C-alpha cells in the first residue's frame, strides 16, 4: 500500500487495560471504510489482503468485532491464495484478537496456539513469535488463565528485549502489570 491513510489511526492501550482504544473513534471508523474502499482497487491479492487486514484490525479497535472478523477472514483467504505465510500468520493473530474482543478469549487462545505451532514449523515466521506470544498471553488473561498468560507475556518480553524496541517492550510490560496487579479485573 503506497498511499498513507488520511485519517487519525492513532491508538493506545490505557493503563490497567489489555485492549487498545482509538485516539479518535470517528476518524478510525472512517479509516476502516477508506481502507475497504481502497482494497477494491488493489493491484494484487497480497496488497488487498494487507488493506483488508489493516481495516479488520482497526475495526476491532473501534469495537466492531463482527466486521473485523469478516474483513480478517477475507484477508486470510487472499493471503493464503497468494501463499504468503507471514501475512497469513499476522492476519490470524489479528483475527484472534477480534475473537477475544467478542468475548471468546479461549477460542482466540486456541487459534493463537495453532499459530505458534506454525512458527515452530516454519523458520521464516520466527520474527512474529513475540507478536503471537503477546496476544496469546492477553487472550489467556482474559480467559482467566492468569499464570499461563503471564508465562506467554514473559516469553514475548524476553524476545522483545532482544529486539531492542522500547514500544514493544512497554506494551508487554503493561500487559504483565495488568495481570499481576489486578487479575480479577483485566481491563476488558
State whether 73 and 110 are in the same domain: no
**How does DSSP assign 64-101, residue by residue?**
-HHHHHHHHHHHHHHHHHTT-HHHHHHHHHHHHHHHHH
Spatial distance between the Cα atoms of 176 and 153, rounded to a whole number of angstroms? 7
What is the band of 122 on the pLDDT scale with cuts at 50, 70, 90? very high
Residue 92 forms part of a structural domain: no
Please give the tally of structural domains in the chain: 2
State whether 81 and 107 are in the same domain: no
DSSP designation for 126: G
Residue 3 forms part of a structural domain: no
Q: What is the extent of the structural domain holding 58?
A: 22-85
State whether 151 and 186 are in the same domain: yes
Q: pTM for this one?
A: 0.92
* pLDDT tens-digit readout, 62-112: 999 999 999 999 999 999 999 999 999 999 999 999 999 999 999 999 999
* pLDDT tens-digit readout, 14-72: 988 999 999 999 999 999 999 999 999 999 999 999 999 999 999 999 999 999 999 99
Amino acid at each position: 500500500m503506497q498511499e498513507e491513510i488520511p485519517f487519525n489511526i492513532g491508538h493506545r492501550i490505557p493503563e490497567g487495560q489489555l485492549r487498545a482504544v482509538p485516539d479518535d473513534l470517528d476518524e478510525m471508523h472512517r479509516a476502516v471504510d477508506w481502507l475497504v474502499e481502497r482494497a477494491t482497487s488493489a493491484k494484487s491479492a497480497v496488497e488487498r489482503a494487507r488493506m483488508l487486514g489493516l481495516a479488520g484490525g482497526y475495526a476491532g479497535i473501534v469495537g466492531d468485532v463482527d466486521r473485523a472478523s469478516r474483513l480478517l477472514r477475507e484477508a486470510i483467504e487472499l493471503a493464503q491464495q497468494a501463499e504468503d505465510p507471514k501475512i497469513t500468520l499476522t492476519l490470524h493473530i489479528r483475527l484472534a484478537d477480534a475473537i477475544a474482543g467478542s468475548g471468546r478469549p479461549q477460542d482466540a487462545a486456541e487459534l493463537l496456539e495453532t499459530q505458534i505451532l506454525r512458527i515452530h514449523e516454519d523458520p521464516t515466521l520466527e520474527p512474529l513469535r513475540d507478536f503471537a506470544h503477546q496476544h496469546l498471553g492477553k487472550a489467556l488473561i482474559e480467559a482467566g488463565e492468569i499464570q499461563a498468560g503471564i508465562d506467554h507475556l514473559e516469553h514475548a518480553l524476553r524476545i522483545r528485549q532482544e529486539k531492542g524496541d522500547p514500544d514493544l517492550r512497554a506494551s508487554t510490560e503493561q500487559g504483565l502489570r495488568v495481570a499481576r496487579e489486578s487479575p480479577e479485573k483485566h481491563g476488558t
